[in-house]
């Protein structure tokens, strides 16, 4: 209902303006929006993925504030409604239901985990509400439907680059692989790594698995250590990755063997959780704190002064997500989901903190990835 | 997926010692957990499914001592054991005792408990909130004393076997919710540097970290203490007598109710010790951490023979070894499948478990 009233009021406003002078028409056509535009956000603020959610929440709130202050959307203001999915599929489904049916949002940012996105995104697709995932990197997310977008580079766009860059520098020939086989994200990360390694002709000595919530990896790591791999490829979320790094180093896997991973590593929390054992961990990423991209410096400064800590990649992607959505709303000139969807699908070379940002024909994000390494507890560019 | 031994690089033997260490220290912690589990079963013939939640409470008691009170670790471990022992006694009084024999004191205890929960959960200012909480706690104390002093229960009945299982599941949920309320659902961690991190080198290819050595040493010591307690002391004799026949023990003048409370205390303290030790070893505490160990524990006590303490200890080491060796020499994806295959195998060959005796004689 609300959106229809919006469309109606927007149309009537345009008519009124049309009757008036053409000069005023030019001025208001792009910003024919008014009132509050409701957008939802579903983050994992508690539970296993609570290392990622809070920074997403902070960054999204920061971006919404900036947009509302700058008058980017004319008379209209974005109103962000945040929900916690407790890092579970069930929580994400409940949050989507509430945001779509009760709050009648026009678009949703999130959810944090790919696993939850696979479960909850179909609800939004059915209701024709735009979803912009800002941290989903598993395969098969945007395939859910034409209303589903993401600004987070999928693993298959990042990891082949990670393998190429690390191989050029480290020149390894044989690796061991360890991944979580009961999670959509870690499994699809594994598939991508496996393909990348095979393409490069690198020998995989062994492939070991673990389960979500496992705490003990010593048996797998002892076996890996016995095989003397040049590097260890790990597809895991930060919690498990921290356990793997600590136990691996304690078992005596030498420092020269780097632990190379995917998006799950890209939180400063990893260095906190694993302490000195996180040193030398390498991961492919979509963003990096000293990135020389438009507005990045200002974003890092604003985030630091508002929240007192450095933003991470998840913050940057959430921040960029809000701007991408706002840009689509502005271009569409309406708060109708369908026109926002169309505007969003046509975004090409938009300046964001992630770099020049485009959506491809499949609504997948396109921008250059980077490779980073943990040194002295901080991410640095791997080069 | 690639069998390591087939590659012929000789890595099979080099990793064996390390894998045995991995299996042994975890088996020891699991044994601590399982022995308390099986002890309560031996005495009361009930499966206390809240044992996993008691395990979790032990870890969090130690966490409280170390982080909020800044106590050293060596003093946090006994405190955690006593704390979780008391939690287990309370679980008995609230979830099991009213099913065995309901007294007026038991009702008062429940009333006080509900008041306490309302006080803890309620959304009021400090005076009202504290009032509820303190009133609840006092009422609970009165209830416990009254319950203990009552000779003639309001009702004494044989409840169906499932009833204690259901009420212990309820107790689990209450404990987990309380822990979530106090510490949050996210993972809590002991401060780093609580324990030296770098491992001791045993041989060229095998290491053991200080915390693993502590887990192994303390678990073995507590196991020995429990066995001595059961076999050599008056209290142990009373426990064994009740396990054999509650009615006979009562006739002999044993204070059955008190001995049951002691049994729960011992069982809870052992679970609490296991909780602290595993919590320290993986440095990962969360309110639901008991669920997984609960399942392994259940497997262990069934394989070991329900009610047999030595059987539980041996089965725990067996399960620990199988978990590790199945990863080392078969495939990590099938780790849990192997453990449960063992369970089925044992049940096929010896339905009463490896050390299970005929139905009447236990503990």
Q: Do B18 and A210 touch (CB under 8 A)?
A: no
Q: Report pLDDT for B6.
A: 47
- Rounded Cα distance between A323 and A329, Å, is 10
Q: Report pLDDT for A60.
A: 96
CB of B209 within 8 Å of a chain A CB? The answer is: yes
* Mean predicted lDDT score pLDDT of chain A: 88
What does the pLDDT look like over B235-268, one tens digit per residue? 999 999 998 888 899 899 998 889 999 999 999 9
A299-308, B3-12, B20-29, B143-152: least confidently modelled range? B3-12
- Whether B131 contacts B96, CB under 8 Å: no
Cα B176 to Cα A26, A213, B57, B311, distances in angstroms: 61, 17, 9, 29
CB of A210 within 8 Å of a chain B CB? The answer is: yes
Using a CB-CB cut-off of 8 Å, the residues of chain B touching A239 are 187, 284
At residue A72, φ and ψ (nearest 5 deg) are -60, -35
According to DSSP, the residues that pair with A43 across neighbouring strands are A84
Name residue, tokens 């679970």. Answer: B271
Task: Inform me whether the pLDDT recorded for B48 exceeds 70.
Answer: yes
Task: Inform me whether the pLDDT recorded for A25 exceeds 70.
Answer: no
Give strand ranges (E) for chain A.
36-43, 77-84, 107-109, 130-133, 148-150, 174-180, 203-210, 231-235, 259-261, 282-285, 350-352, 355-359, 365-366, 370-375, 378-381
Q: Report pLDDT for B360.
A: 46
Q: Which of B15, B278, B284 sits opposite A223 (nearest CB)?
A: B15
- Rounded Cα distance between A17 and B225, Å, is 89
Six-digit token string for A370: 């980077």
Six-digit token string for B161: 């076997």
A62-76, A114-128, B185-199, B206-220: least confidently modelled range? B185-199
Q: Report pLDDT for B162.
A: 86
Q: Euclidean distance between the first and final Cα of chain B, in Å?
A: 43
Name residue, tokens 């080099």. Answer: B14
CB of B11 within 8 Å of a chain A CB? The answer is: yes
Secondary structure, 3-state, chain B: CCCHHHHCCCHHHHHHHHHHHHHHHHHHHHHHHHHHHHHHHHHHCCCCCCHHHHHHHHHHHHHHHHHCCCCCHHHHHHHHHHHHHHHHHHHHHHHHHHHHEECHHHHHHHHHHHHHHHHHHCCCCHHHHHHHHHHHHHHHHHHHHHHHHCCCCCEECCCCCHHHHHHHHHHHHHHHHHHHHHHCCCCECCCCCCCCCCCEEEECCEEECHHHHHHHHHHHHHHHHHHHHHHHCHHHHHHHHHHHCHHHHHHCCCCHHHHHHHHHHHHHHHHHHHHHHHHHHHCCECCCCHHHHHHHHHHHHHHHCCCCHHHHHHHHHHHHHHHHHHHHHCCHHHHHHHHHHHHHHHHHHCCCCCCCCCCCCCC
CB of B333 within 8 Å of a chain A CB? The answer is: yes
Residue count of chain B: 363
CB of B15 within 8 Å of a chain A CB? The answer is: yes
Q: Do A226 and B26 touch (CB under 8 A)?
A: no
Q: Report pLDDT for B11.
A: 58
Q: Report pLDDT for A19.
A: 44
- Whether A145 contacts A278, CB under 8 Å: no
pLDDT-above-90 percentage for chain A: 62
The H or E element that residue A269 is part of is helix A268-274
A217-230 mean pLDDT: 92
According to DSSP, the residues that pair with B156 across neighbouring strands are B101
Instruction: Report residue A199 CA to chain centroid gap.
Output: 26
Task: Inform me whether the pLDDT recorded for A290 exceeds 60.
Answer: yes
Q: Which residue has the higher pLDDT, B29 or B120?
A: B29
CA distance B63 to chain A (A): 16
Using a CB-CB cut-off of 8 Å, the residues of chain B touching A220 are 327, 332
Name residue, tokens 């049994």. Answer: B263
Q: Do B19 and A275 touch (CB under 8 A)?
A: no
Using a CB-CB cut-off of 8 Å, the residues of chain B touching A243 are 282, 284
- Reported as a pLDDT band with limits 50, 70 and 90, residue A268 is confident
B318-328 mean pLDDT: 90
- Reported as a pLDDT band with limits 50, 70 and 90, residue B187 is confident
Name residue, tokens 């001995």. Answer: B259
| Three-state DSSP state, A40 | strand
Task: Inform me whether the pLDDT recorded for A195 exceeds 50.
Answer: yes
According to DSSP, the residues that pair with A203 across neighbouring strands are A174
Q: Report pLDDT for A16.
A: 44
ipTM: 0.82
A188-215 mean pLDDT: 91
- Reported as a pLDDT band with limits 50, 70 and 90, residue A8 is low
Q: Report pLDDT for A4.
A: 58
Q: Report pLDDT for B2.
A: 45
Q: Report pLDDT for A2.
A: 52
B302-329 mean pLDDT: 90
What does the pLDDT look like over A323-381, one tens digit per residue? 999 999 999 988 888 999 999 999 999 999 999 999 999 999 999 888 999 998 888 88
Instruction: Report residue B309 CA to chain centroid gap.
Output: 13
Q: Report pLDDT for A7.
A: 54
Closest CA to B179 of B266, B56, B1: B56
Q: Do B199 and A227 touch (CB under 8 A)?
A: no
Q: Report pLDDT for A74.
A: 86
CB of B233 within 8 Å of a chain A CB? The answer is: no
Task: Inform me whether the pLDDT recorded for B316 exceeds 80.
Answer: yes
CA distance A264 to chain B (A): 17
B174-191 mean pLDDT: 87
Task: Inform me whether the pLDDT recorded for A14 exceeds 70.
Answer: no
Task: Inform me whether the pLDDT recorded for A178 exceeds 80.
Answer: yes
Q: Do A220 and B332 touch (CB under 8 A)?
A: yes
Q: Report pLDDT for A22.
A: 41
Q: At CA A199, angle to CA A195 and CA A205, rounded to 5?
A: 70
Q: Do B1 and A206 touch (CB under 8 A)?
A: yes
Q: Do B328 and A223 touch (CB under 8 A)?
A: yes
Q: Report pLDDT for B8.
A: 44
- Reported as a pLDDT band with limits 50, 70 and 90, residue A18 is very low
CB of B13 within 8 Å of a chain A CB? The answer is: no
CB of B296 within 8 Å of a chain A CB? The answer is: no
Q: Which residue of B has its CA nearest to A53?
A: B186
Using a CB-CB cut-off of 8 Å, the residues of chain A touching B191 are none
Q: Which residue of B has its CA nearest to A216?
A: B282
Using a CB-CB cut-off of 8 Å, the residues of chain A touching B328 are 219, 222-223
Q: Which residue has the higher pLDDT, A12 or A150?
A: A150
Q: At CA A23, angle to CA A17 and CA A24, rounded to 5?
A: 40
Q: Which of A208, A210, A243 sits opposite B282 (nearest CB)?
A: A243
- Rounded Cα distance between A292 and B73, Å, is 47
CA distance A208 to chain B (A): 6
At residue B32, φ and ψ (nearest 5 deg) are -55, -45
Task: Inform me whether the pLDDT recorded for B126 exceeds 90.
Answer: no
- Whether B93 contacts B116, CB under 8 Å: no
Sheet with A259-261: strands ordered across: A203-210, A174-180, A231-235, A259-261, A282-285, A370-375, A378-381
- Rounded Cα distance between B111 and B126, Å, is 21
Q: Report pLDDT for A269.
A: 80
CA distance B248 to chain A (A): 46
Task: Inform me whether the pLDDT recorded for B7 exceeds 90.
Answer: no
- Reported as a pLDDT band with limits 50, 70 and 90, residue A121 is very high
- Reported as a pLDDT band with limits 50, 70 and 90, residue A3 is low
Q: Report pLDDT for A104.
A: 92
Q: Which of A207, A225, A275 sits opposite B1 (nearest CB)?
A: A207
Cα A348 to Cα A70, A106, A345, A359, distances in angstroms: 22, 22, 9, 6
- Reported as a pLDDT band with limits 50, 70 and 90, residue A20 is very low
- Rounded Cα distance between B267 and B270, Å, is 5
- Whether A313 contacts A137, CB under 8 Å: no
Q: Do B4 and A223 touch (CB under 8 A)?
A: yes
Q: Which of B185, B199, B283 sits opposite A47 (nearest CB)?
A: B185
Neighbour tally for A66: CB within 10 Å: 18
Neighbour tally for A311: CB within 10 Å: 28
Q: Report pLDDT for B15.
A: 81
Q: Report pLDDT for B355.
A: 79
- Cis amide leading into A378 (omega within 30): no
Cα A235 to Cα A196, A240, B363, distances in angstroms: 13, 9, 46
- Whether B271 contacts B51, CB under 8 Å: yes
* Mean predicted lDDT score pLDDT of chain B: 87
| Three-state DSSP state, A260 | strand
Q: Which residue of A has its CA nearest to B183?
A: A46
A154-163, B4-13, B340-349: least confidently modelled range? B4-13
Q: Do B19 and A222 touch (CB under 8 A)?
A: yes
According to DSSP, the residues that pair with A41 across neighbouring strands are A82, A109
- Rounded Cα distance between B336 and B311, Å, is 21
């Amino acid at each position: 209902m609300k959106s229809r009233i919006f469309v109606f009021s927007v149309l009537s406003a345009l008519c009124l303006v049309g009757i008036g002078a053409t000069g005023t028409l030019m001025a208001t056509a792009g910003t024919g929006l008014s009132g509050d535009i409701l957008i939802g956000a579903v983050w994992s603020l508690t539970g296993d993925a609570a290392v990622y959610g809070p920074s997403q929440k902070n960054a999204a709130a920061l971006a919404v504030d900036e947009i509302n202050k700058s008058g980017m959307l004319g008379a209209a203001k974005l109103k962000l409604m945040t929900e916690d999915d407790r890092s579970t599929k069930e929580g994400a489904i409940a949050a989507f239901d509430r945001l779509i049916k009760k709050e009648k949002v026009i678009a949703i940012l999130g959810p944090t985990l790919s696993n939850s996105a696979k479960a909850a995104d179909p609800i939004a697709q059915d209701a024709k509400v735009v979803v912009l995932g800002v941290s989903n990197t598993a395969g098969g997310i945007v395939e859910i439907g034409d209303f589903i977008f993401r600004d987070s580079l999928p693993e298959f766009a990042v990891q082949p680059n990670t393998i190429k860059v690390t191989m050029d520098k480290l020149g390894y020939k044989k690796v061991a692989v360890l991944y979580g086989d009961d999670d959509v994200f870690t499994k699809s990360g594994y598939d991508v790594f496996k393909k990348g390694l095979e393409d490069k002709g690198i020998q995989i000595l062994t492939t070991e698995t673990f389960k979500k919530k496992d705490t003990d990896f010593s048996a797998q790591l002892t076996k890996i250590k016995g095989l003397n791999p040049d590097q260890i490829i790990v597809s895991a979320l930060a919690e498990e990755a921290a356990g793997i790094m600590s136990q691996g180093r304690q078992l005596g896997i030498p420092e020269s063997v780097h632990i190379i991973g995917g998006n799950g590593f890209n939180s400063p929390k990893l260095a906190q959780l694993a302490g000195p054992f996180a040193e030398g961990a390498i991961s492919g990423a979509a963003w990096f704190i000293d990135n020389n991209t438009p507005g990045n410096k200002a974003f890092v400064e604003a985030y630091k002064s508002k929240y007192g800590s450095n933003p991470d990649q998840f913050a940057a992607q959430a921040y960029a997500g809000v701007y991408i959505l706002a840009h689509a709303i502005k271009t569409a000139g309406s708060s109708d989901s369908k026109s926002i969807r169309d505007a969003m699908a046509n975004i090409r070379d938009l300046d964001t903190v992630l770099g020049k940002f485009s959506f491809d024909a499949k609504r997948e994000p396109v921008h250059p990835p980077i490779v980073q390494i943990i040194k002295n507890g901080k991410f640095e560019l791997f080069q | 997926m690639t069998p390591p031994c087939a590659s012929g690089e000789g890595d099979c033997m080099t990793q064996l010692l390390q894998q045995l260490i991995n299996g042994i220290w975890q088996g020891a912690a699991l044994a601590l957990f399982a022995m308390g589990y099986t002890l309560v079963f031996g005495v009361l013939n009930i499966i206390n499914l809240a044992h996993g939640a008691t395990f979790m409470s032990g870890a969090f008691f130690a966490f409280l001592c170390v982080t909020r009170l800044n106590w050293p670790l060596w003093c946090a471990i006994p405190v955690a054991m006593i704390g979780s022992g008391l939690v287990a006694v309370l679980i008995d009084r609230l979830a099991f005792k009213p099913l065995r024999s309901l007294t007026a004191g038991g009702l008062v205890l429940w009333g006080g408990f509900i008041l306490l929960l309302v006080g803890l959960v309620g959304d009021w200012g400090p005076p009202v909130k504290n009032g509820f909480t303190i009133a609840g706690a006092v009422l609970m104390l009165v209830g416990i004393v009254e319950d203990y002093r009552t000779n003639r229960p309001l009702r004494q009945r044989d409840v169906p076997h499932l009833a204690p299982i259901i009420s212990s599941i309820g107790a689990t949920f209450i404990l987990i919710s309380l822990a979530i309320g106090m510490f949050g659902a996210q993972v809590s961690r002991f401060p780093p540097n609580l324990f030296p991190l770098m491992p001791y080198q045993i041989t060229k290819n095998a290491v053991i970290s200080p915390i693993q050595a502590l887990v192994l040493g303390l678990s073995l010591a507590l196991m020995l203490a429990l066995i001595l307690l059961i076999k050599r002391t008056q209290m142990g004799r009373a426990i064994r007598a009740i396990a054999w026949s509650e009615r006979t023990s009562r006739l002999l003048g044993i204070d059955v109710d008190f001995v049951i409370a002691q049994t729960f205390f011992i069982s809870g303290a052992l679970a609490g010790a296991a909780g602290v030790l595993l919590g320290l070893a993986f440095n990962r505490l969360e309110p639901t951490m008991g669920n997984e160990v609960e399942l392994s524990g259940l497997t262990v006590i069934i394989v070991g023979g329900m009610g047999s303490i030595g059987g539980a200890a041996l089965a725990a080491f067996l399960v620990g070894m199988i978990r590790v060796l199945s990863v080392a020499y078969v495939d990590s994806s099938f780790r849990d499948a192997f453990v449960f295959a063992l369970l089925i195998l044992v049940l096929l060959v010896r339905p009463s478990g490896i050390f299970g005796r005929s139905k009447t004689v236990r503990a």
